[in-house]
Structure 1
Amino acid sequence: MSEEQKPTIINQDQPTQTWFSSWFDTPYYHILYKDRNYREAQIFMDNLTHYLNLPEKAKVLDLACGKGRHSIYLNQLDFDVLGADLSENSIAEANKNANETLHFKVHDMREPFEEKYDAIFNLFTSFGYFENDEDNLTTLKAIKESLSEYGFAVIDFMNVAQVLNSLVPEETKTVDDIDFHIKRYLKDGHIYKEIDFEDKGQKFHFTEKVKALTLQDFETLMEEAGIYLLDIFGDYKLKKFHKAESERLIMIFK
């Protein structure tokens, strides 16, 4: 499973929670995933905005922005950016970087925005983690309603076929002297990642869960939402999508 995912969360040391009180708001999420490739992400933003031929000062929405690292870079590319995320802690952190053309707000991605955007980016598998599958369609409709007449939207999702082919069932990652014991598996149409670790004498257990949506699944959802799929890419250099081996499923639509 991709290391950037922000799916439904269950902390089994406490009563069951949804992603609304998600584990990626804890310091441990950020410790485990601290070694992300930021330069690769910036190259992706460069390629994407060039491909979309966005005008200077275009209004861009970074949907499910986390702490805003992509919003910040998009703003450095001279776009007027809003980063939106459900996590209050993440938005509080992101707001430290706000300026006249970079803003952040707490927002549920299933709700449309009053303002219209020239581009909406949903990046690094920040989709498919709802308990109710209907919410995936609701989110697509909200994205559609939030686009300007000539606006484009982008969903960057994992390529499920490639992920399942290369799934590592069990591994241990040691980061900042914490041993994260990780198990991955497919169950009921979802890819799970169970994470166990100890810190300061306390045991922790979290489970990430994301819907194993294929391109065909997205095409069905988009047709129902009245969305026109324009192009599909298979990696951050915007190479052609190949079902069996592409690292990503990147969809451009309007």
Structure 2
Amino acid sequence: MTNSTKQWYASWFDTPYYHILYKDRDYSEAQVFMDNLTSYLNIPEGGKILDLACGKGRHSIYLNTLGFNVTGVDLSEQSIKHANQFKNETLKFAVHDMTKPYPETFDAVFNLFTSFGYFEDDTCNLKTIEAIKEELNDYGFGVIDFLNVNYVTEHLVAEDIKTVEGIDFHQKRSVKDGYIVKDISFEINGEHYEFQERVKALTLDDFNALFEKANVHLLDVFGDYKLGKYHPQTSERLIMIFK
């Protein structure tokens, strides 16, 4: 049995195996990032944040503990169903397509941890930035935290096996047709599964072109979660602040 889909994110993110494979992500590093980011942006206490592509809501929950009014949205119904158990008066979740404006405005819209560039249709990347622009209030900031293509391609591990909870995830990585691709295969109870992650290999120049088309202004660029200076070849991240 082979499971695959053209819109890979619509199925892969909804499987329990996605969350098993990535269960060891460094959330303490992510929390430091959000501490630094909210401080840098000077978001007021009780300010409204939209967490765009929030997954199961872990980062939305943390932002809420910092005193912010947080809305987490994601295309994955299963992820939002999980996140909803944590909702409160200042924390809510919704299934939402990020290429369309959410019907509220915010002090900040965060698109974190390479949750951009998944689309087969390039126009959806522009639509997402245009939607973020509409979601910002007069004083709001947009943030896209993306991988640094130059660094990733230079350090690409072509193939490895990662074993988590007794599952051997075979991972093959490549750069194809302008996308950074990871093919993932594994077997469970004699059944074979295959999924593919595809992220558009967008550079800072590519984002600048999108920002210009969307009529938003790039204000600052950082290269790591401590908000260090961005270096095109050596920075692991490409973190863009705009409005």
TM-score where L is the length of structure 2: 0.98
- Partners of 1:19 and 1:173 in 2: CA distance: 20
Aligned to 2:180: 191
The one-letter code sitting in structure 1 at the alignment partner of 2:21 is: L
Aligned to 1:106: 95
Deviation at 1:14, TM superposition (A): 4.2
Q: Aligned runs of 1:113-124 on 2, under 5 Å?
A: 113-124=102-113
Deviation at 1:17, TM superposition (A): 3.6
Structure 2 gap segments, 5+ residues each: none
TM-score where L is the length of structure 1: 0.94
Percent sequence identity is 65
Q: For residues 98-123 of structure 1, give each alpha carbon's deviation from its aligned partner in whole angstroms, at most 9, with x where no partner exists.
A: 00000000000011122110000000
Q: Does 1:78 align with 2:74?
A: no
Deviation at 1:15, TM superposition (A): 6.3
- Partners of 1:191 and 1:15 in 2: CA distance: 17
Q: Does 1:245 align with 2:234?
A: yes
1:50 to 3, 25, 39: 39
The one-letter code sitting in structure 1 at the alignment partner of 2:104 is: E
Q: Aligned runs of 1:194-213 on 2, under 5 Å?
A: 194-213=183-202
Q: Does 1:60 align with 2:79?
A: no
Aligned to 2:163: 174
Structure 1 gap segments, 5+ residues each: 1-11
- Partners of 1:235 and 1:106 in 2: CA distance: 29
Aligned to 1:5: none
Deviation at 1:16, TM superposition (A): 3.4
Cα 1:249–1:54, aligned 2, differ >3 Å: closer, same or farther? same
CA contact (8 A) 2:4 2:194 kept: no
SS of aligned partner of 1:65? coil
Deviation at 1:200, TM superposition (A): 1.2
Aligned to 1:4: none
- Partners of 1:15 and 1:62 in 2: CA distance: 27
- Partners of 1:234 and 1:17 in 2: CA distance: 31
- Partners of 1:20 and 1:243 in 2: CA distance: 27
Deviation at 1:177, TM superposition (A): 1.0
SS of aligned partner of 2:153? helix
Q: For residues 177-219 of structure 1, give each alpha carbon's deviation from its aligned partner in whole angstroms, at most 9, with x where no partner exists.
A: 1111110000100011001111111111111101000000000
Aligned to 1:41: 30
- Partners of 1:205 and 1:86 in 2: CA distance: 21
Number of residue pairs the alignment of both structures matches: 243
